[in-house]
Amino acid sequence: MKIPKPVIYEVDYTNDDLSNLKTKERIKSKKDQKLIFNYPTVYIVNDEVNSSKYSVYVGETTNINRRTEEHMTNDSKNRKDWREMFESDRSKMFIIGHEHFNKSLTLDVENRLMQYLSSVESVVSVNNRRTNPQNDYYTAEELGPIFSQIWRKLRKKNKELFPLERIIRDSAIFKASPFHKLTREQMAAREDIILKVTEALNHDAASNFENKEQLIIVEGEAGSGKTVLMSSLFYELNQLAKEESDNVVIRGTSQYLLVNHDQQLKVYEQIVTKLGILSKQNPDVVSKPTRFINMHSEDKKADIVIVDEAHLLWTQGKQSYIGKNQLDDLLKRAKVVIAVLDRNQILSREQYWDEVEMRNKIHEAADKHKYIYLENQLRINADKETINWIRGLVDNRTIENIPRDSKKYDLRIFDDPETMYTKIQEKAKNEESGISRILATFDWEYVDKRKPDNEDYWYVKIGDWKLPWNLQIPQSKEEKRRNRDRAWAEQSQTIGEVGSTFTIQGFDLNYAGVIIGPSVKYRNGKIVFDKNESKNKKATQLRGTENGEKLDVSDFLLKNELNVLLTRGVNGLYIYAVDEELREALKKAKKGELFDNLKQ
- The domain locations on the chain are 7-169, 184-374, 384-599
pLDDT of residue 484: 84
pLDDT of residue 389: 96
Confirm if 525 and 532 have CB atoms less than 8 A apart: no
CA distance 142 to 3: 8
pLDDT of residue 548: 66
Cα distance from N-terminal residue to C-terminal residue, the chain: 55
pLDDT of residue 316: 78
Q: How many CA atoms lie within 13 A of 132 on its CB side?
A: 17
What lies within 8 Å, CB to CB, of 106 at 6+ separation is: 40, 41, 42, 60
Angle between helices 184-206 and 226-240 (to 10 degrees): 50
CB atoms within 10 A of CB 569: 29
Confirm if 565 and 506 have CB atoms less than 8 A apart: no
pLDDT along the chain (600 residues), means of 10: 89 83 75 92 94 92 90 85 88 95 93 94 83 72 94 95 91 90 92 92 64 82 90 92 81 92 88 84 87 91 92 78 87 94 76 71 88 90 95 95 93 97 94 86 92 92 97 91 87 95 90 98 96 92 72 89 95 97 96 59
Burial class, 25, CB count within 10 angstroms (exposed 0-12 / middle 13-18 / buried 19+) = exposed
pLDDT of residue 596: 47
Which candidate, 300, 273, 299, places its Cα nearest to that of 286? 273
SS (H, E, C) 556-568: HHHHHHHHHHHCC
CA distance 235 to 257: 10
CA distance 424 to 433: 10
pTM listed for this prediction: 0.83
Cβ burial 78-99 (10 Å sphere, 16+ → b, else e): eeebbeebbebeebbbbbbbbe
In CATH terms, the superfamily for domain 184-374 is P-loop containing nucleotide triphosphate hydrolases (3.40.50.300)
Beta bridge partners of 145: none
Strands (E), 414-496: 436-440, 459-462, 465-468
